[in-house]
Structure 1
Amino acid sequence: MKSLFRNPTFCKLFIATFASQLGTVIGNMAFAFYLVDRYSERPSLATMAELMYSLPTLTVFWIVGVIADRFDRKHIAAYSDWIRAGLTLLLLLFVHYDMLFFCFLMLFLRSSISKFFGPAEMGLLQGSIDQDQYVQASGLNQMIMGMFMLFGMSLGAGAYHFIGIKGAFIIDCVSFLISGLLLAWGDFPERARIPNGRTSIRELRLSLLFKDFWHGLRYISENRLLLVLISGFLFFGIVNGVFSVLPIFTMKYKLSPDNYVVHSSLITVFMGIGFLIGSIIAPHFIRRFTRTPILISGLFISSLLIGGLGTTVRIEVYLVLILLAGITIAPINIALGSWMPELVPPQNMGRVNSLIEPIMMLGHSLALGGIALTFPFWLSVTWLHYMLAFCTIAVSFFYLRFLPSLVRNQLVYSTGEKAIADGKEA
């Protein structure tokens, strides 16, 4: 871990990613509270706001990875932050005049631009550290996620309560500017920034975009282990989609209608604590037991805990179960996050990473669309939890069916390749 932070390039990237995430979380959470507070009789608006964060993936995914693999990833990530800062200022203006349609439009555009940040950041990270540091770096990323789960909703609620929705968006804007500056000042190696060589914007043609996109699809389809791993992300998207509104809905419409702001914040605090604990212990367990059993057992245990959340009627029990769920979910994310850079070469990372997110966002959008149409008239908070549990256990059994044999085959293949290479050197 110390060796990572001795790397100044990694430090700037780590802080920039943190600031960019901060700029996203505070405004989004504050806007959710703003909608639930101001339009409490229309819970569908909060769900619609979440859709504005997820739907853009389905419109730009085919170009995001190609851009990340063809152009300078450092510039892509920095400009993604700076453009979002400008859009946040426009969002601030539309909130002031209570123009909801244009607020949702700005949320859509801001989320669209943010999709260019992830593949570029992943490529910069992959090219800036050694392969044996992937698990540690993934663990740190999960700790960031845990911190935002721990404080994200609380920060959003606090910002909305003390400085209002406008103040929250100002914090967003400043965070994006800082993140972009750190990335612009970062001294990233050329292999991380442009692994496929320099490409001029004049060379960019629609035919080239589709060619690169299909290349990424072919690469995934020809790697069965990668294909199986990515197939489970549709269900992860459904889980993320439901959980994006579940804390507020659980407290507002079931457990604590009068104090839902405080208690929904406590849900994310306990989940965040669980993520931090899980992120600390996960690298040790992954080294000892390997990724496959950690991934499968973590998903199975999580499904039982999430099902238990749907049956509880006491806030204290709910918080304890959400803490345990956070501990079991963190190793799942670390196992997946550290596996991808090992399976995908740098020149294809942008295209592969950009294809993962639309699969997740498809599930995310389907879940939110279903909630907007059915909640609370046909689908209760309890059944939202049961739906999450079903999706989680389905992925667990899917991975149990395919992953062990694929991992064994890959190990045999890698061992044979290494033996052939050693024989040639001898």
Structure 2
Amino acid sequence: MKEIFGNKTFVKLFFASVTSQMGSTIGNMAFAFYLLEHFASQPYLATLAELMYSLPTLAVFLVVGVMADRLDRKKIAEYSDWIRAGLTVLLFLSVMSNILWIIFALLFLRSAVSKFFFPAEAGLIQGILTKEQYQTAGGLNQMVFSIFMLFGVGLGAVIYTVLGIYWALVIDGISFIVSGLLIRYCSIHKEARLPNGESNWKELGFKQTLADFSKGGKYILSNKLLLNLLLGFFLFGFINGGFAVLPLFTMKYKLAPDNYEWYASLFALCFGVGIFIGSAISTVVGKKLKPHTMLIGGILITGIATVGMGLSDSIWLYLSFVWLTGFMIAPINVSIAGWIPRIVEPSYMGRVNGWSDPIMMLAQSISLGIIALLFPTVITSVDYIYYGVAALMGIVGVFYWLTLPRLSGLVHEEKPAILEVQA
């Protein structure tokens, strides 16, 4: 941990990611509360808002990974922040006018731009850390994610309740500006920013983009371990779609309809505490366990905890299962975050993300679409959504159990990482 934080470039990138994600979490949750309060009889609007965060992946997947591998990763991440800050200003004005279709269009565009940030940032991280530091960085990122869960939803609820949707959007915009400034002042080697050498926009025509995207697909197909992981990611997308709306729907329509904002914040608190503790333990234990052991065990136990959430009629029993779910999701994410960079060559990291993200988001969008269409007319209880999510977790866990142990030795022996040069 000390070695990672001794790397000034990593520290700046880390806090750039933190500020960007924290602001987005607050803004997104505040917007969800806004929709549920003003359109309580139309729960599909909250689901549609979540779709605006996932569908853009399917619109830009062809170019996202290719750009992260062919163009300057630092500039891509930085400009992504600037553009999102500008779109947040427009979103602020649109909420004032209360024209829903413009609001949803801007949410779509802002999310589409964000899809360029993370592959570029992940590629930069891979270029400034050694292979031995990947899992520690993965555990650290999960601990930060848990802090978002601890405070993001709660702050979103508090800011929306006390200050309103406009201040939530102001914080959103400021977070992107801070993130962009941190990235701008990073000093990163050219080899980490441009792993495939110099390119320009003219070279990234449709044919070249399609050819690079196809190379990413062929690279995945040639690596059986990576291929099997990504097949599981498709089902993860359905799971993510369910969990994107379940906390708010559970509190609003089942356990606490009169005080759902407060209990939705408690959901985030319990889930975040679980992930924080689980991430801290997984970072240490992960050095002794094989990644597939942590991954499979975490998925199967999380599936059991999800069934428990669906069966719970008491808020506190429900929150206990929420904590267990967060605790077991941590080793899942830590193992994946530490494993993928070891499997993938640095020059292909963007193109692999260009395939993995749309695979998950396609499934997530289908899941959210089904929920928007069927809840609460056909799917009359949120419990059934929990059972469906748990069943999918069981399928992924068994699939990984049958495939990953025998493939776990197929780890790419990567080239030495590009370390930063201190100014």
Match of 1:126 in 2: 126
Match of 1:392 in 2: 393
Instruction: Figure out how many residues of one structure are paired with residues of the other and give that number.
Output: 412
Deviation at 1:6, TM superposition (A): 0.8
Match of 2:55 in 1: 55
TM-score with structure 2 length normalisation? 0.96
Match of 1:221 in 2: 221
Q: Distance in 2 between matches of 1:362 and 1:161?
A: 33
Secondary structure of 1:325's aligned partner: helix
Deviation at 1:367, TM superposition (A): 0.8
Establish whether residue 11 from structure 1 lines up as the match of residue 4 from structure 2.
no
Establish whether residue 39 from structure 1 lines up as the match of residue 39 from structure 2.
yes
Match of 2:140 in 1: 140
Where in structure 2 are the equivalents of 1:410-421 lying within 5 Å?
Answer: 410=410
Q: Distance in 1 between matches of 2:76 and 2:216?
A: 19
Q: Which amino acid aligns with 2:296?
A: I
Q: Distance in 1 between matches of 2:100 and 2:163?
A: 20
After TM superposition, the runs of 4+ consecutive aligned structure 1 residues lying more than 6 A away are: none
Deviation at 1:292, TM superposition (A): 1.2
Q: Distance in 2 between matches of 1:286 and 1:241?
A: 28
The C-alpha deviation readout for 1:158-180, integer Å capped at 9, x for no partner, is: 11112111111010111000100
The C-alpha deviation readout for 1:109-159, integer Å capped at 9, x for no partner, is: 000000000100000000011110000000011011111111111111111
Q: Which amino acid aligns with 1:313?
A: D
Deviation at 1:63, TM superposition (A): 0.4
Secondary structure of 2:89's aligned partner: helix
Deviation at 1:104, TM superposition (A): 0.1
Q: Distance in 1 between matches of 2:16 and 2:354?
A: 20
Q: Distance in 2 between matches of 1:200 and 1:382?
A: 51
Q: Distance in 2 between matches of 1:288 and 1:130?
A: 19
Where in structure 2 are the equivalents of 1:18-37 lying within 5 Å?
Answer: 18-37=18-37
Match of 2:312 in 1: 312
Match of 2:416 in 1: none
The C-alpha deviation readout for 1:286-314, integer Å capped at 9, x for no partner, is: 22221111111111111001001100100
Q: Distance in 2 between matches of 1:86 and 1:256?
A: 37
Does the CA-based 8 Å contact 1:285-1:294 persist in structure 2? Answer: no
Q: Which amino acid aligns with 1:302?
A: T
Secondary structure of 1:377's aligned partner: coil
Match of 1:424 in 2: none
Deviation at 1:202, TM superposition (A): 2.2
Does the CA-based 8 Å contact 1:53-1:111 persist in structure 2? Answer: yes
Match of 2:408 in 1: 407
Deviation at 1:105, TM superposition (A): 0.3
Q: Distance in 2 between matches of 1:204 and 1:57?
A: 19
Q: Which amino acid aligns with 2:346?
A: P
The C-alpha deviation readout for 1:178-198, integer Å capped at 9, x for no partner, is: 100100110012221000011
Match of 2:417 in 1: none
The C-alpha deviation readout for 1:371-393, integer Å capped at 9, x for no partner, is: 00111121111001101101111
Establish whether residue 86 from structure 1 lines up as the match of residue 89 from structure 2.
no
Q: Which amino acid aligns with 1:98?
A: N
- Unaligned runs of 5+ residues in structure 2 are 414-423
Establish whether residue 284 from structure 1 lines up as the match of residue 315 from structure 2.
no
The C-alpha deviation readout for 1:328-386, integer Å capped at 9, x for no partner, is: 11000010111110011111000001211111101110110010011112111100110
Q: Which amino acid aligns with 2:304?
A: L
Does the CA-based 8 Å contact 1:88-1:172 persist in structure 2? Answer: yes
- Unaligned runs of 5+ residues in structure 1 are 415-426
Deviation at 1:23, TM superposition (A): 2.3
Match of 1:178 in 2: 178
Match of 2:382 in 1: 381
Deviation at 1:200, TM superposition (A): 1.6
Where in structure 2 are the equivalents of 1:327-338 lying within 5 Å?
Answer: 327-338=327-338
Match of 2:261 in 1: 261
Does the CA-based 8 Å contact 1:53-1:107 persist in structure 2? Answer: yes
Establish whether residue 244 from structure 1 lines up as the match of residue 244 from structure 2.
yes
Deviation at 1:210, TM superposition (A): 0.4
Match of 2:2 in 1: 2
Q: Distance in 1 between matches of 2:108 and 2:75?
A: 22
Secondary structure of 1:300's aligned partner: helix
More helix by share: 1
Q: Which amino acid aligns with 1:334?
A: V
Match of 2:230 in 1: 230
Q: Which amino acid aligns with 2:386?
A: H
Deviation at 1:283, TM superposition (A): 2.0
Q: Distance in 1 between matches of 2:109 and 2:8?
A: 32
Q: Which amino acid aligns with 1:152?
A: G
Q: Distance in 2 between matches of 1:89 and 1:201?
A: 28
Q: Distance in 1 between matches of 2:200 and 2:285?
A: 45
Q: Which amino acid aligns with 2:322?
A: I
Q: Distance in 2 between matches of 1:225 and 1:167?
A: 45
Q: Which amino acid aligns with 1:266?
A: L
Deviation at 1:83, TM superposition (A): 0.1
Q: Distance in 2 between matches of 1:389 and 1:205?
A: 43
Q: Which amino acid aligns with 1:401?
A: L
Secondary structure of 1:40's aligned partner: coil
The C-alpha deviation readout for 1:24-68, integer Å capped at 9, x for no partner, is: 111111100000001111111000000011000011011000000
Secondary structure of 1:214's aligned partner: helix
Match of 1:371 in 2: 371
Q: Distance in 1 between matches of 2:316 and 2:112?
A: 38
Does the CA-based 8 Å contact 1:66-1:209 persist in structure 2? Answer: yes
Deviation at 1:204, TM superposition (A): 2.0
Secondary structure of 2:197's aligned partner: coil
The alignment's C-alpha RMSD in Å is: 1.0
Q: Which amino acid aligns with 1:327?
A: F
